[in-house]
Chain A
Amino acid sequence: MASVISEVATRTRTRSEGPPTIELRDVTKRFRTPAGDIYTALRDLAFTVGRGEFLSIVGPTGCGKSTTLALVSGLTPASAGEVLVQGRPVTGIGRDLGYVFQGDVLFPWKSVIGNVSAGLRFRGVSKREAHARAREWIAKVGLAGFEDHYPHQLSGGMRKRTALAQSLITSPEIILMDEPFSALDVQTRTLMEDELLDLWSATSASVVFVTHDLEEAISLSDRVCVLTAGPGTVKGIYKIDLPRPRHVSEIRFEPRFMELYREIWEDLRDEVLVGYERAKTHV
C-alpha cells in the first residue's frame, strides 16, 4: 500500500512532462591548470532535469560536481558538448536562475535586507518595491526582525537562510545548489533541508542539488545522479520513489530509504575509494 501512495505522490510532484528544463549532451569540461597542464573535470556528461524536478548529484571529491553547476548557470562555458536550458543552448548567465553557493557569498557590507533585495535591485526594481518583497522573503525564511543585521552578526544557519532568500526572491525556474548546507551543524542542517523542501514545493522550479552526502541527496530528491571519480561522468541515475511531502529527519528511518541508500552506496563506494586513493597520491 505504501508503494501505491508513494507512486501517486511522486507523480503529482514530478511535473516533468514536455521538454526537459535542463539538458546536458555529452558535455566535456577541460581547465588549464596554473602549471599549464590540461585538466579534464567532466567527460561526456549527459543527463536531463525535468520541469519541477529535484535532482541531486553525488560523487567523490573532485569529480566535477560544482563544475556541472557552473556550466548550467553559464558562469563557465563547456569545452565540448551542449548545455541546454529550456531548450536553448547556454551562452551566458541565465536570467531565470538561482544559485546557492557552498561558501559564504553574502555581501558583507550589506544588511540582510540589502542582501536579499540585491537580485531585484540589479534587475532594476525600485528600492521601495525590492525592500517590500525582501521583507516578505526574510519573514518566509524565519528571519523577521533581523533585516538590519549584517552577515557577520548572524549565525551560520541564519546566513544560509539569508542566502536562500537572496537566491529565491527572483522566483527562478532553475535553482542550482552547491553543497549549500555542508558547513552547518547536523541539527541546523536537517531544519534547513525541511525548509528548502517547503519553499521549493510552493514553486515549479527545477533543482540541481550537489552534495557529497548521500543521505541528504536521497531525502531531498526525485532522482539521484551518481558521478564517477574525475573526470566525472554519469555512473548511474536512481529514481527516489519516496512519498512527498517528506520530513527529512524522519524519512531516514523508512525501510525504503535504507534500501535505496544501500543500492546507491554500492555504486558510489567504488568511486569514493578511487577519489580517495587519488587524493592521497596528490598529497
Chain B
Amino acid sequence: MSSVALDAAVLAAKKKVRRHRQLVIVLRIGFGVLLLGSWELLSRTKTIDPFFFGRPSAIAQKIWHWATVGSPDGSLWNDIWITVEEALIGFGLGVAGGVVFGIALGRIRILAEVLGPYIKAANSIPRVVLGSIFIIWLGLGLPSKVALAFVLVFFVVFFNAFQGAREVNEDVIANARILGAKRRDVTTQVVLPSAMTWIIASLHTSFGFALVGAVVGEFIGSIRGLGHLIAFAQGTFDTNGVFAAMFILAVIALGAEFLITALENRLITWRPTRRDDVAL
C-alpha cells in the first residue's frame, strides 16, 4: 500500500472512531430525554399519579426553590454541607482505619488468625441498624452520623486492604528482602504500594457507603442535612421533595467518584493503562 493510501486509511479509521463516539453521545442524551420525557408526559396526562410518582419539571422546580428561597431546614447549601461533612469525616476515618488494620492483619499472621472470626462476625451484622445505637450514644448531631459512615466504610476498605496485603507476590517480597529490605521496609515499600490498587478500588464503593451512612443517620434522627430533608419530604408526602434530595445526592456521589478517579490516576501512574472499550 502506498503511503498516501495508508494515510487515507488511517484518516478513515479515525473518522470512524469519531463517528462512533458522536453516536454514543447522541444516543445517551436521547435516552435521557426519552426517559424523563415519558415520565413527564405520563405524569401530566395522569396515566401515573403525580402525587405518588412526581414529575421531572416539578423536581427541578423544587431544587430551584430550595436553592434560591430556602429548604425546610433553612438553607439547602447548609444541608448539603452538613451531609458532605459527615460523609467526608466518616470516609476519612474509615479509610485510615481500614488501611491500617487491613495491612496489619495482612502482615501479622497471628493477628489475622485471632481477630479474623470477630471481624467476619462484625461484618455480618446489618450495620445500618447500628445507626440507632449511635444516635442513642452520640446524640442527634454530627458524631452519630460520622460513626455510621465510619463503620460502613471501614469494613469495605479493611477487607480490600487485607486481601491486597495477602495477595502480594511472594517472590517480590523475597526479592526485596534479598535487596536488603527489613520487615518495616517490606510493609511500607512493598506491601502497601502493592495493596494500593485494591485499596483505591475500594474507595469507589466506600464513598457511596459514607454518603449512605450520613443520610441514613440523618434519616433516623437529626434536625439538618439531606437525610433530614428526605425525612421531612416523606413526612409531608412530598414525592418531588424526596426525588429532589435524591438527585442532589446523586450529583454529590458522581462528583466524589470523579475526584476519586482523578486521585487513582495520580497515585497509580505505574499501572498499565486500561483500554476503555466500554467506558462506564
B166-193 contacts to A (CB < 8 Å): 169, 171-172, 174-182, 185, 189-190, 193
Instruction: Tell me if A93 and B178 are in contact (CB < 8 A).
Output: yes
Known contacts A119-B179, A152-B270, A152-B271; A75/B174 CB under 8 A: yes
Chain B residues in 8 Å Cβ range of A93: 177-178
The residue in chain A whose Cβ has the minimal distance to the Cβ of B179 is A119
| Size bracket of the A interface | 20 to 34
Partner of A107, one of B174, B190, B271: B190
CA distance A1 to B112 in the complex (A): 68
Instruction: Tell me if A105 and B174 are in contact (CB < 8 A).
Output: yes
A123 at the interface (CB under 8 A from B): yes
CA distance A110 to B169 in the complex (A): 15
Instruction: Tell me if B178 and A97 are in contact (CB < 8 A).
Output: yes
A168-195 contacts to B (CB < 8 Å): 170
CA distance A99 to B175 in the complex (A): 7
Instruction: Tell me if A152 and B175 are in contact (CB < 8 A).
Output: no
Partner of B175, one of A95, A105, A109, A123: A105
Known contacts A107-B193, A152-B272; A122/B179 CB under 8 A: yes
A65 CB to nearest chain B CB (Å): 15
Known contacts A105-B172, A150-B270, A152-B271; A73/B193 CB under 8 A: no
CA distance A96 to B181 in the complex (A): 13
Instruction: Tell me if B176 and A122 are in contact (CB < 8 A).
Output: yes
B194 at the interface (CB under 8 A from A): yes
B196 at the interface (CB under 8 A from A): yes
Instruction: Tell me if A95 and B174 are in contact (CB < 8 A).
Output: no
A88-129 contacts to B (CB < 8 Å): 93, 95, 97-99, 101, 103, 105, 107-111, 118-119, 122-123
Instruction: Tell me if A122 and B180 are in contact (CB < 8 A).
Output: yes
Chain B residues in 8 Å Cβ range of A97: 178
Q: Which A-B residue pairs are the 6 nearest by beta carbons?
A: A122-B180, A119-B179, A105-B175, A109-B193, A152-B272, A109-B270
Residues of chain B touching chain A, judged by Cβ–Cβ distance below 8 Å, are: 169, 171-172, 174-182, 185, 189-190, 193-194, 196, 268-272
User: 19 additional contacts, CB 8 Å, given A99-B174, A152-B270, A167-B178?
Assistant: A73-B178, A75-B177, A93-B177, A93-B178, A98-B178, A99-B178, A105-B174, A107-B172, A107-B190, A108-B270, A109-B194, A110-B270, A118-B179, A119-B179, A119-B180, A122-B179, A122-B181, A122-B185, A166-B179
